Amino acid sequence: MITTVELIPKEDIPKYRLAKASEDHSRELRPKLQGALRLGNEFKSKATITFQTLDGPKRVETTVWTLTDDALQIKNGVVLPLGSLLDVEY
């Protein structure tokens, strides 16, 4: 787990320029992302998603609405590319 990462409101994500993570974690995070999607859709529970920006890593607590091969979508149509993800917790 990544520590001391700034928690930002999900509404602030568009203010940041997303960047690719130094390593692609999308394959190893896929099971956690599927779980976060199920939690969001069935139980309205939130996940903590850590992702890379040009300003450094950031994290948000949010509900995952959809998941594709390349990205995940959260509230208000915000899309995070899987290549920018660092960690997913719930």
Question: pLDDT tens across 21-65, in order?
Answer: 999 999 999 999 999 999 998 999 999 999 999 999 999 999 999
| For the chain, percent of residues with pLDDT exceeding 90 | 91
* Full residue range of the structural domain in which residue 34 is found: 10-89
Average pLDDT, the chain: 94
Query: How many domains does the structure of the chain reveal?
Result: 1
Instruction: Output the pLDDT for position 45.
Output: 94
Instruction: Output the pLDDT for position 76.
Output: 87
Task: Note whether residue 39 is domain-resident.
Answer: yes
Read off the pLDDT band of 3 (50, 70, 90): low
Task: Note whether residue 36 is domain-resident.
Answer: yes
Q: What is the CATH number of the domain that holds 60?
A: 2.30.30
Instruction: Output the pLDDT for position 16.
Output: 97
25: CB partners within 8 A, 6+ apart? 85, 86, 87
